[in-house]
């Protein structure tokens, strides 16, 4: 089938043209109405086409990720392809169950009626994806949107132009613009999109930009899902398996060069095991990336920071901490020109250092000590609610106490990051770290309107009780109902 050409980015500005954006948005309106009654088979066909189109360009994606920020192919497979392919597989196998109307029991006030919940597509959806996992965080939500029967416009980050270009080609090959379209560009393109009255916006990015998106959505009363970030803490108590904690935590911290919304941001280690924990971390770094600074810098397994601006930002946080008395236990090297920051463990980080209040989003890990776990709980609760909380402990009673007294989007115990891959769990933040959920059935519901339906029966209980005239007999019956419900009597 011959596909129409992709829209053209303005060569002078590098932005998508607002008239193209509006034209495609308007063309998706009739499609959204038709797709409202699309069958599950039709939706599954769209998912299979997306899967096949993505896999057909697998080698092109490897090259694009290498070009954008030297991401190893195995990390592309593990953090980009696998999550999307698993989302598609899980959705195809479960969509019939998710989409089936759900019967609900009547309440006392609705006796002799029947009720159910049915799932309708929201309509035209906007998906704005970040640069750290451009394929995963763009196509992953698209899977849920298509499964729910929606049209979509995608806006990937301008910071990964090579990957965005391949994604645009995949979308143009698989879908017509009035079904799914992708627009490239930076802030002006995002602004042009946010001016339109979408039925739902799914945004992944920083809390600061999330507030901008939510403000724009409010103008049209558009529903939003905000997948944001935050400073996800790690707790390592004195009962923890220190080798396991070091292996797992450094995997989560250094995959994608720490540019993960659920990456460990800082670690609280019990003072009695801190030195042994740091030594285990040193061993893990040497085993994975080399025992010398030169070997680590040359390692093909370390992804680079996305660009020089972000390298300068992380380097600035590191330098600020060091100037205020922090000590680099490992690493500390920064090369802005090559977007390289060595895997760095920081000790004695003062509380007023900027790195303790700003999300790091890089391969630098402050190591803090504690005596009593209450100190850590207090410190976590004093900060905005994080996207993830990690606890390494063999004491489940203590772990449950920590979970009960803190709030976070998700939790992993003796593990990090992996909860993102559990498609049967809701993935999302709370307050500053996000609004709404993604993945699996939760993603399907995010892109669906859960419509409640009630059907009257042969007996009309409301007529017996609440239709005028309000006779003494009706008042008596209502009074008896209120007594049954243990509610205050109005008369």
Catalytic positions, please? Answer: 227, 261
Cα of first residue to Cα of last residue in the chain, in angstroms, is: 72
User: If you compute the radius of gyration of the chain from its CA atoms, what whole number of angstroms results?
Assistant: 26
Say how far apart CA 69 and CA 462 lie, in whole Å: 65
Residue in 275, 266, 249, 235 with CA at minimum distance from that of residue 401: 235
| DSSP code per residue over 271-289 | TTTHHHHHHHHHHHHHHHH
DSSP bridge partners of 231: none
C-alpha 218/C-alpha 222 separation (Å) is 6
SS3 state at 455: strand
Give the integer Cα–Cα distance in Å for 230 and 55: 32
What count of other Cβ atoms lies within 10 Å of the Cβ of residue 98?
19
Cβ atoms of 156 and 136 within 8 Å: the answer is no
Q: Which token pair is 462?
A: 């409301």
Residue 467 tokens, joined: 């239709």
**CA distance readout (Å), 156 to 55, 88, 425:** 19, 20, 25
- Which candidate, 87, 135, 91, 125, places its Cα nearest to that of 202? 125
Q: What is the dihedral of CA 332, 334, 339, 340, to 10 degrees?
A: -40
In the β-sheet with 448-455, what is the strand arrangement from edge to edge? 102-104, 114-121, 448-455
The answer to whether 167 and 156 have CB atoms below 8 angstroms apart is yes
With 0-12 CB in 10 A as exposed, 13-18 as middle and 19+ as buried, what is 73?
middle
Q: Under DSSP, is residue 239 helix (H, G, I), strand (E, B) or coil?
A: coil
């Amino acid at each position: 089938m011959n596909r129409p050409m992709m829209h053209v980015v303005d060569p002078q500005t590098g932005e998508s043209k607002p008239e193209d954006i509006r034209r495609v948005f308007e063309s998706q309106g009739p499609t959204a109405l038709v797709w409202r009654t699309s069958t599950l088979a039709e939706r599954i066909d769209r998912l299979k086409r997306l899967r096949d189109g993505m896999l057909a360009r697998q080698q092109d994606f490897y090259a694009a990720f290498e070009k954008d920020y030297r991401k190893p192919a195995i990390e592309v497979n593990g953090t980009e392809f696998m999550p999307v392919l698993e989302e598609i597989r899980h959705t195809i196998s479960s969509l019939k169950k998710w989409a089936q109307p759900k019967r609900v029991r009547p309440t006392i006030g609705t006796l002799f009626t029947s009720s159910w919940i049915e799932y309708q597509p929201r309509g035209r959806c906007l998906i704005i994806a970040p640069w750290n996992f451009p394929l995963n965080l763009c196509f992953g939500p698209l899977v849920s949107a298509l499964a729910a029967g929606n049209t979509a416009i995608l806006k990937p980050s301008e910071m990964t132009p090579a990957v965005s270009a391949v994604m645009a080609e995949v979308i143009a090959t698989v879908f017509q613009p009035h079904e799914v379209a992708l627009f490239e560009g930076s802030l002006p393109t995002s602004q042009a999109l946010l001016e339109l009255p979408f039925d739902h916006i799914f945004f992944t990015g920083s809390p600061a930009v999330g507030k901008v998106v939510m403000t724009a959505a409010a103008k049209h009363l558009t529903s939003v899902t905000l997948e944001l970030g935050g400073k996800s803490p790690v707790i390592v108590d004195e009962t923890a398996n220190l080798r396991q904690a070091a292996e797992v935590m450094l995997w989560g911290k250094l995959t994608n060069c720490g540019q993960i919304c659920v990456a460990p941001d800082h670690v609280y280690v019990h003072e009695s095991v801190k030195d042994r924990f740091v030594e285990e971390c040193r061993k893990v770094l040497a085993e994975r990336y080399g025992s010398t600074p030169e070997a680590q810098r040359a390692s093909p397994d370390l992804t680079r920071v996305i660009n020089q601006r972000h390298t300068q930002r992380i380097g600035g946080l590191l330098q600020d901490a060091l100037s205020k008395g922090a000590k680099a236990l490992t690493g500390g090297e920064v090369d802005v020109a090559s977007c390289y920051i060595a895997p760095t463990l920081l000790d004695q980080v003062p509380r007023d250092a900027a790195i303790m209040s700003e999300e790091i989003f890089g391969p630098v890990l402050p190591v803090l000590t504690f005596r009593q776990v209450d100190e850590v709980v207090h410190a976590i609760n004093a900060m905005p609610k994080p996207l993830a909380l990690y606890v390494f402990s063999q004491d489940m009673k203590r772990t449950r106490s920590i979970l009960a007294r803190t709030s976070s989007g998700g939790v992993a115990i003796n593990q990090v990051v992996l909860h993102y891959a559990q498609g049967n769990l809701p993935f999302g933040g709370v307050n500053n770290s996000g609004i709404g959920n993604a993945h699996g059935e939760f993603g399907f519901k995010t892109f669906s309107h859960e419509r409640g339906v009630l059907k009257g029966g042969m007996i009309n209980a409301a007529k017996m009780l609440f239709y005028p005239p309000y006779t003494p007999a009706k008042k008596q019956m209502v009074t008896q109902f209120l007594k049954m419900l243990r509610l205050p009597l109005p008369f």
